[in-house]
């Protein structure tokens, strides 16, 4: 309950405290051997050639923790994974960023990191989808692709020799995001998984869980396949609109239906509730919260009420306690 700013009455407060007591007891049982605080001893079972990683130190022939977190082991490497930490980019991470500057041959993005990231013009697909050398004309037209305050999905390429964090967007699933909401949550609530792009067909929306703590909830957009389009007739290609073009004639086509808007707002509020409570954000849990709000016949704004926070905490405590009961 630390850090929560909720106006609860006495009954809600008691239920809320009871739910979090159950959650804390379950987490302490499951992580009793792995959880450590500062100055705790880390058991290495007298193994030789142990590699001391992040969050560990040797003191009086003992391996102790210098952080509060969970002990992780990779072969001979022993390190402590902090429970709460800032985003640390890794190669291949799916991230979401906002353009803050259009520079020569590159865009600078804010990605919830200690420094800004760079997306080079040569590291992304051009709107026409043709793989070719970038020219001076392409550089002059950069602002027609991305401009300031545009929200972009990209992949971490790595730190280059110039010390900057470089991104790449060489697939049609990356690029500019439109017709949706951008949410900011603590990065440690988003776990790295094989799939960070989710299409919730029952709601008609797309969900992108960025590893950097930026989450996008928006209207579903069909991803084009360049290989298939290259084999099709050129006249058919001209009929397909690029994702980065928007003219007056497209305003009517890009109208988002009211039902889809409701689903976007409902899913976004579900993420806000989970983030405030400190629960891990997954597509399965988000769907459960959305369905729970619908079953209770709540309006979108009522999901941010104190009673719904208490109900979600109780449901999460019940869900986590189910496996222990089956044993």
Q: Which string of b and e fits 282-308 if b means at least 16 CB within 10 Å?
A: bbebbbbbbebbeeeebebeebeeeeb
For 262-316, the pLDDT digits (tens) are 999 999 999 999 999 989 899 999 999 999 999 999 999 999 999 999 999 999 8
pLDDT for position 28:
58
- The owner of tokens 């009211």 is 258
Winning range, highest mean pLDDT, from 15-24, 234-243, 293-302: 293-302
In the predicted structure, residue 51 carries a pLDDT above the cut 60: yes
Contact between 33 and 70 under an 8 Å Cβ cutoff? The reply is no
Reported as a pLDDT band with limits 50, 70 and 90, residue 63 is: confident
Reported as a pLDDT band with limits 50, 70 and 90, residue 323 is: low
Task: Find the mean pLDDT for residues 81-98.
Answer: 88
**What is the Cα–Cα distance from 111 to 98, expressed in whole angstroms?**
7
pLDDT for position 114:
87
Reported as a pLDDT band with limits 50, 70 and 90, residue 82 is: confident
Task: Find the mean pLDDT for residues 115-134.
Answer: 81
Instruction: Select the more confidently predicted residue: 270 or 39.
Output: 270
Torsions phi, psi for 14 (to 5 deg): -65, -45
Reported as a pLDDT band with limits 50, 70 and 90, residue 3 is: low
Which pTM value belongs to this model?
Answer: 0.79
Average the pLDDT over each of 4-13, 93-102, 215-224 and give the range with the smallest value.
4-13
pLDDT for position 93:
93
Torsions phi, psi for 25 (to 5 deg): -65, -40
Could you tell me the domains of the chain? Answer: 1-30+178-234+257-327 (no CATH), 31-82 (2.40.50.100), 86-177 (2.40.50.140)
**What is the Cα–Cα distance from 146 to 148, expressed in whole angstroms?**
7
Average the pLDDT over each of 46-60, 241-255, 304-318 and give the range with the smallest value.
241-255
In the predicted structure, residue 29 carries a pLDDT above the cut 90: no
Name the residue among 175, 81, 165 with its Cα closest to residue 118.
Answer: 165
Alpha-helical regions (H) of the chain: 10-30, 136-140, 142-145, 226-231, 234-239, 258-277, 283-295, 306-326
In the predicted structure, residue 47 carries a pLDDT above the cut 80: no
For 108-123, the pLDDT digits (tens) are 999 999 889 999 998 8
Percent of residues, the chain, with pLDDT higher than 90: 43
Reported as a pLDDT band with limits 50, 70 and 90, residue 58 is: confident
The total of other beta-carbon atoms located within 10 Å of residue 92's CB is: 11
pLDDT for position 327:
40
pLDDT for position 129:
63
- The owner of tokens 């605080």 is 37
Task: Find the mean pLDDT for residues 211-228.
Answer: 78
Average the pLDDT over each of 122-136, 180-194, 242-256, 295-309 and give the range with the smallest value.
242-256
> CA 48 from chain center: how many Å?
39
- Tokens, residue 100: 């803050």
pLDDT for position 253:
54
Q: Which string of b and e fits 2-39 if b means at least 16 CB within 10 Å?
A: eeeeeebeeebeebbeebbebbeeeeeeeeeeebbeee
pLDDT for position 52:
86
For 153-170, the pLDDT digits (tens) are 999 999 888 778 999 988
Question: What's the alpha-carbon Rg for the chain, to the nearest Å?
Answer: 23
The mean predicted confidence, pLDDT, of the chain is 82
- Residue 84 DSSP class: S
State the first-to-last Cα distance of the chain, in angstroms, to the nearest integer: 29
């Amino acid at each position: 309950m630390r850090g929560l700013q909720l106006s609860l009455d006495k009954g809600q407060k008691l239920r809320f405290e009871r739910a979090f007591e159950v959650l804390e007891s379950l987490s302490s049982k499951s992580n009793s051997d792995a959880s450590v605080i500062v100055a705790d001893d880390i058991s290495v079972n007298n193994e030789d050639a142990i590699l001391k990683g992040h969050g560990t130190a040797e003191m009086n022939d003992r391996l102790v923790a210098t952080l509060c977190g969970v002990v992780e082991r990779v072969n001979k490497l022993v390190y402590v994974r902090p429970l709460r930490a800032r985003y640390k980019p890794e190669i291949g991470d799916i991230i979401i960023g906002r353009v803050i500057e259009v520079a020569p041959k590159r865009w600078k993005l804010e990605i919830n990191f200690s420094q800004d990231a760079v997306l080079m013009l040569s590291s992304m697909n051009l709107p026409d989808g043709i793989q070719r050398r970038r020219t001076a004309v392409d550089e002059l037209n950069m602002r027609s692709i991305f401009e300031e305050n545009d929200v972009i999905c990209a992949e971490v390429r790595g730190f280059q020799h110039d010390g900057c964090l470089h991104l790449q967007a060489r697939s049609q699933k990356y690029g500019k995001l439109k017709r949706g909401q951008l949410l900011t949550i603590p990065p440690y609530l988003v776990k790295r998984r094989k799939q960070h792009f989710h299409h919730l067909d029952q709601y008609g929306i797309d969900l992108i869980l960025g590893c950097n703590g930026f989450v996008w909830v928006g209207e579903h957009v069909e991803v084009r396949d360049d290989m298939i389009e290259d084999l099709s007739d050129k006249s058919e290609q001209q009929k397909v609109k690029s994702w980065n073009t928007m003219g007056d004639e497209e305003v009517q086509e890009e109208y988002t239906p009211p039902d889809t808007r409701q689903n976007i707002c409902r899913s976004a509020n579900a993420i806000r509730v989970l983030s405030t409570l400190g629960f891990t954000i997954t597509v399965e849990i988000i769907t459960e919260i959305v369905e729970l709000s619908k079953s209770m016949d709540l309006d979108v704004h009522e999901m941010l009420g104190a009673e719904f926070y208490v109900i979600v905490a109780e449901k999460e405590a019940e869900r986590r306690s189910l496996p222990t009961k089956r044993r």
